[in-house]
Amino acid sequence: MIVLGIETSCDETSAAVLDDSRVLSNVVSSQLVHVQYGGVVPELASRAHLRLLQPVVERALSEAGIGREQVEGIAVTHGPGLVGALLVGLTFAKGYSLAADIPFIGVNHMEGHIYGNLLTVEHIDFPVLFLIVSGGHTQLVLMKDHLDYRIIGSTRDDAVGEAFDKSAKVMGLGYPGGPVIDKLARGGDASFVRFPQSFLKEDHFDFSYSGLKTSVLTYVEQHSPQHMAEHQADICASFQKAAIDVLISKTLRAAKVHNVRAIAFAGGVAANGYLRAGIVEQGRKAGFDVYTPQMAYCTDNAAMIAYAGLHRLRRGEHSSQNLNAFPSLTLGS
Ligand code: KG4
Ligand code: ZN
């Protein structure tokens, strides 16, 4: 089945073409307009999606070597995300679906992240425990089968990606902060500063990142710019360790408690080098299969949306023209 995927939930305008699990194209246009503001400006995101989506879709089709009439279904993100941004993709998908007389399906962005990981897994051994880590979410999700989700832990305040972005901002490192901190932390001494690790020892599987964010701010206020510059790598490595160790530790504990076969991780923060190495090493040592997402499918992209949509379309599901955008859509709802 040939599926066109569309993703416009935040600041990436993306379109992809899949032939079953084969990615024929995955075009991602990152909106650079937000960099000067140090974060995503919702109205500017919507306007950029409006301008970029049509050419991005055209490019995805031409790179795939697929004519418009060959597309058999459309998958589009309809939440969670920025409402204006979501509406651009959703409206485009509805129009395409009507004009071409093919079904479309609204996809949950977090389900998309999960399927971005599963896209390259040859044999999925359910149950799988998923750690989903992005700019807006930090969740542990138990999957007993395809499209079946039970959330067993979530952040109570900030998401881990948000902690990376906000900490980088107060350290003057630019936006988005995740990739910058990841790079700067290499070679740094992670024991240089002891930043807090919330809920590390507690039995539940929830997370909290506001304390870490505040302690980075306090640290910056209490130290000179020279100190910050001289120890940049050490401070970034210390922050990264505090942010990531708790994710790995809770994922492994939840995997044991829920008796899963495999653990997997997804979302923008899944691109983090320290997380990737740590979860693979510790997960395997504990006897689990570890599904590692390819870098291209970690941060927002339409291939992951197309693949999740494909599973739903194959079941005969499709959305109606009345489908709305849901900024706070949750998994399993
Ligand atoms: O999934 P995503 O592209 O968008 C959302 O759905 O939020 O995730 C973006 C988040 C940002 O917070 C970004 O800083 C973070 O993922 N991120 C990283 C890395 N690459 C992206 N965080 C840590 N290390 C990275 N290498
Ligand atoms: Zn995302």
Question: Do you know the residue count of the chain?
Answer: 333
Between the CA of 160 and the centroid of ligand 1 the distance, in Å, is 9
Q: Which atom of ligand 1 is nearest to the CA of 137?
A: 7
Q: Which atom of ligand 1 is nearest to the CA of 274?
A: 24
Ligand 1 near 39 CB (within 6 A): no
Ligand 1 near 80 CB (within 6 A): no
Question: Identity (one letter) of the amino acid at 304?
Answer: M
Between the CA of 269 and the centroid of ligand 1 the distance, in Å, is 4
Between the CA of 231 and the centroid of ligand 2 the distance, in Å, is 31
Res 174 pLDDT > 70: yes
Are domains 2-114+297-314 and 125-292 of this chain identical in fold?
Answer: yes
Ligand 1 near 182 CB (within 6 A): yes
- Separation CA 257–CA 252 (nearest Å): 9
- The predicted structure's pLDDT at residue 287: 97
Q: Which atom of ligand 1 is nearest to the CA of 168?
A: 14
Ligand 1 near 195 CB (within 6 A): no
Between the CA of 166 and the centroid of ligand 1 the distance, in Å, is 12
Superfamily, domain 2-114+297-314: ATPase, nucleotide binding domain (3.30.420.40)
- Tell me the domain boundaries of the chain: 2-114+297-314, 125-292
- The predicted structure's pLDDT at residue 267: 97
- The predicted structure's pLDDT at residue 126: 97
Neighbours of 192 (CB within 10 A): 16
Kindly state the tokens that stand for 223.
Answer: 């130290």
Helix (H) or strand (E) holding 92: helix 83-100
- The predicted structure's pLDDT at residue 333: 64
pLDDT digits (tens, 9 = 90+) for 124-143: 999 999 999 999 999 999 99
What's the mean per-residue pLDDT of the chain?
Answer: 97
CA distances, 169 to each of 28, 79, 174, 213, 216 (Å): 24, 27, 6, 11, 10
pLDDT digits (tens, 9 = 90+) for 265-305: 999 999 999 999 999 999 999 999 999 999 999 999 999 99
Hey, which of 109, 134, 173 would you mutate to test ligand 1's pocket, going by the most ligand atoms within 8 Å of its Cβ? 134
Domain 125-292 has CATH 3.30.420.40: yes
Ligand 1 near 176 CB (within 6 A): yes
Q: What is the pTM of this model?
A: 0.96
Res 182 pLDDT > 90: yes
